[in-house]
Amino acid sequence: MSSKSYDATHIEVLEGLDAVRKRPGMYIGGTGSGGLTHLLWEIIDNGVDEAAADHCDLIEITFHGDGSYEVADNGRGIPIGVKHGIDRVQGITALEVVFTELHAGGKFGNGAYAASGGLHGVGASVVNALSKRMVVDVNRDGATHRLAFNEREAGHFTPNGRFRQSHKLAKVAKVPKNRTGTTVRFWPDTEIFDSEAEIKYEEARERVAQVCFLVPGLKIRLIDRRVGASGRPEEFISKGGLSDYVDFLSSPAPQVTSMVRLQGNGTFTEKVPVHGKLTAVERDCQVDIAMRWISNFDTNIVSFVNTIPTPDGGTHVAGFERALTFAVNDALKTADPRKLRRLKDNGKAQKEDVQEGMVAVVRATVPEPQFRGQTKRELGTPDVQKIVYEVAKSQMTEFLSGKQRGTKVTAKALLDKVSDAIINRVTAKQALDTKRKAAAMGNNGMPDKLSDCRMHPEGELLIVEGDSAAGPAKRARDANWQAVLPLRGKVVNAGKGTTKAVLDNAEAAALFTAIGGGSGRDFDLSSARYERLVLLADADVDGSHIRCLVLTLVYHYMRPLLDAGRVYAAQPPTHSITVGQTKTYVYSDVEKDRLIAELQGKGRNPRVTRFKGLGEMDDGELLETTLDPTTRVLRRITVEDAKAAEEAFTVMMGSAVEPRRRFIIRHSHDYGHALDV
């Protein structure tokens, strides 16, 4: 037959459970370990639904050595009466229908369950469809009723292991009249699943512990009877519900706030089929949220609908997050923290600010919720978002007001943490913007005033004052390993200015970009583009001023350079003394006077030249005194030197007058006359 033909013979009808076996991924997400584990969850969830409806307080899960899995509960037991209206066979029981018919169950709004996890009516039948064998025991009416399935066909296994088809239930034991419950044991079909697929005991253990937090008082017993396992049962039970779960998730990190609980409910109307007609039905949605903030930066939100985990969130999580952000911003507006005032319009909290360090468990209990997909990872019911939003917003606003007894300290701690998160986010963004601006200064991504060298990172960066000093430095340097960066304006006082002021300063930004290691706590010494940073400042008051500013910036924002001993200050001479063809450089007035006196004593008449700045030196003089490593004098700057420079700068240039007054009086003799103070 031609592959291009397409007629009625190509239309295929999949009967019963064949559709599940044909496309298992549509029902359990895949044929790997996740899909195989989903089979166990489907059976466990049926027992949990019984517990959530107050009909069950014990579930026992067993990993058998033959590759089968068993789930037993003491709930009401699956109904065993004859189910009428099934066309394919007469006298079929409700028990068989549950395990062989898709979209069959007691959770379609007929009153058996107010809210449940298994809602599509395909869970039990899907497990049967993807199993080689299954045995179901139901305790009801004083007896244990059994029905087995072999390759999806109902019947019974004889003592010799042969299978006999039948739709009748077998009574295999007598039990007390008040004993009820269901036991399901299934053997997954290994031909369907990947060879490496497995149900991990540790994963089941984690899920079981999680379920106990959702249904306080429910005991779950987990037993591993596989080869090499201990076979000893583990028991799980919780009394405190979601608060216990938050305690479990947040331990042992230091707490910023105490436990916060938000609880409430709301109603909504949706249209559902009733007797074949769409009918408006009023639904009730219960909201239960527990949360706490810890000393951490990560966010951990765990969400559930009824008893089903929703790792992909959904409308209930969206409503919670929106309400939380609104309530916190409203509280910040009222509190008006001083630390946020300088940010102005940027001082508004975003979702990530509010949720930094938050551990929360969000649960919505809804009859017949709409999930996006059979695996039920995300809630899709639109009206739930509005209800969760209203409950969370009103109660969170009340909590943050601090008017409730015992909430004032916790509310303040939360607002302080959020304020710090806002400042950190805004500062980080400004740092990124500064890097981008600096990168745009030149075609090579460096500031356009940087005259770079060829060797990285073995070279050195020479910091000079303005273009007058930059010209001779560029001409006299060795371009292979010496780069020159002139500072055309004043560097911001990094010891006094805010992080924003530092990052906005053009000279500081140029220096960060040229060095290439970043700034602040994120400075990476290994990324620095130069081996040494050398300050070439004039030997005068202005030069000292520039040097103090640069060292203060390095101390606060690039300190690893100081710790590694990679910051130096050039020692330019104050004068040159020439006798004949011999030129000698001196570095202080005392040294100058001593040398002149010595030469005059020998009858020589020296010619003295005073250097007012590096810009007044010719290229040869600059090379010999400050650039040539064989003749120049450099002083290595330590952390203590930088700290002392910052303290001196703060005294002389800071806003406080009294420390400056004391300094001047103490050193007035240096000026050669008494000061009238």
Across the 677 residues of the chain, what is the mean pLDDT of every consecutive 10-residue run? Answer: 57 66 84 92 91 92 96 94 65 88 54 44 81 96 95 92 93 94 96 93 91 92 91 90 92 90 94 79 94 91 91 95 96 86 82 95 92 80 95 95 83 92 83 59 68 92 85 90 87 79 85 89 88 85 80 90 92 88 87 91 89 77 88 88 70 59 56 40
Number of domains in the chain: 4
d(CA 187, CA 66): 8
Q: Judge whether 73 lies within some domain.
A: yes
pLDDT of residue 427: 81
Show which of 379, 397, 427 is a domain's final residue: 427
d(CA 569, CA 538): 11
Examine the domain organization and report whether 498 and 598 are in the same domain: no
Residues 6+ apart with CB under 8 A from 457: 528, 529, 530, 531
Three-state secondary structure along 195-254? CCCCCCHHHHHHHHHHHHHHCCCCEEEEEECCCCCCCCCEEECCCCCHHHHHHHHHCCCC
d(CA 52, CA 57): 9
Q: Judge whether 251 lies within some domain.
A: yes
Dihedral sign for Cα 276, 278, 280, 283, please: positive
Show which of 207, 239, 271 is a domain's final residue: 239
CB 302 within 8 A of CB 211: no
pTM exceeding 0.85: no
Three-state secondary structure along 182-207? EEEEEEECCCCCCCCCCCCHHHHHHH
Examine the domain organization and report whether 171 and 277 are in the same domain: no
Q: Judge whether 432 lies within some domain.
A: no
Nearest to 320 by CA among 382, 384, 388, 383: 388
Structural tokens at position 402: 């601090």
The alpha-helical segments, DSSP class H, found in 10-32 are 18-22, 25-28
Nearest to 376 by CA among 22, 123, 188: 123
d(CA 463, CA 241): 63
d(CA 44, CA 256): 36
Long-range CB contact pairs, 4-9, < 8 A, 24+: none
Examine the domain organization and report whether 273 and 302 are in the same domain: yes
Examine the domain organization and report whether 303 and 315 are in the same domain: yes
Q: Judge whether 3 lies within some domain.
A: no
Nearest to 309 by CA among 569, 25, 41: 41
Q: Judge whether 200 lies within some domain.
A: yes
pLDDT of residue 307: 85
Examine the domain organization and report whether 541 and 403 are in the same domain: no
d(CA 558, CA 515): 10
Return the residue matching tokens 């000093």.
469
Return the residue matching tokens 């001083």.
338
pLDDT of residue 273: 74
Examine the domain organization and report whether 307 and 410 are in the same domain: yes
Nearest to 371 by CA among 29, 44, 86: 29
Q: Judge whether 1 lies within some domain.
A: no
Strand 219-224 to 58-63 pairing: parallel
Nearest to 346 by CA among 400, 425, 435, 411: 425
Report angle CA 135, 140, 141 to the nearest 5 degrees: 140
Examine the domain organization and report whether 553 and 523 are in the same domain: yes
Examine the domain organization and report whether 62 and 166 are in the same domain: yes
Examine the domain organization and report whether 89 and 59 are in the same domain: yes
Examine the domain organization and report whether 309 and 444 are in the same domain: no
CATH number at residue 276: 3.30.230.10
Q: Judge whether 673 lies within some domain.
A: no
CB 446 within 8 A of CB 513: yes
Examine the domain organization and report whether 213 and 84 are in the same domain: yes
CB 430 within 8 A of CB 504: yes
pLDDT of residue 673: 40
Residues 6+ apart with CB under 8 A from 221: 58, 59, 60, 61, 233, 234, 235, 236
pLDDT of residue 620: 85
Show which of 427, 458, 474 is a domain's final residue: 427
Domain that holds residue 274: 243-427
Examine the domain organization and report whether 263 and 320 are in the same domain: yes
pLDDT of residue 104: 52
d(CA 463, CA 535): 5
C-alpha 453: how far from chain center = 40
CATH number at residue 531: 3.40.50.670
pLDDT of residue 119: 35
Long-range CB contact pairs, 577-583, < 8 A, 24+: 577/606, 577/607, 577/608, 577/609, 578/606, 578/607, 578/608, 578/609, 579/604, 579/605, 579/606, 579/607
Core vs surface per residue 500-524: b (16+ CB within 10 A) or e: bebbbbbbbbbbbbbbbbbbbeebe
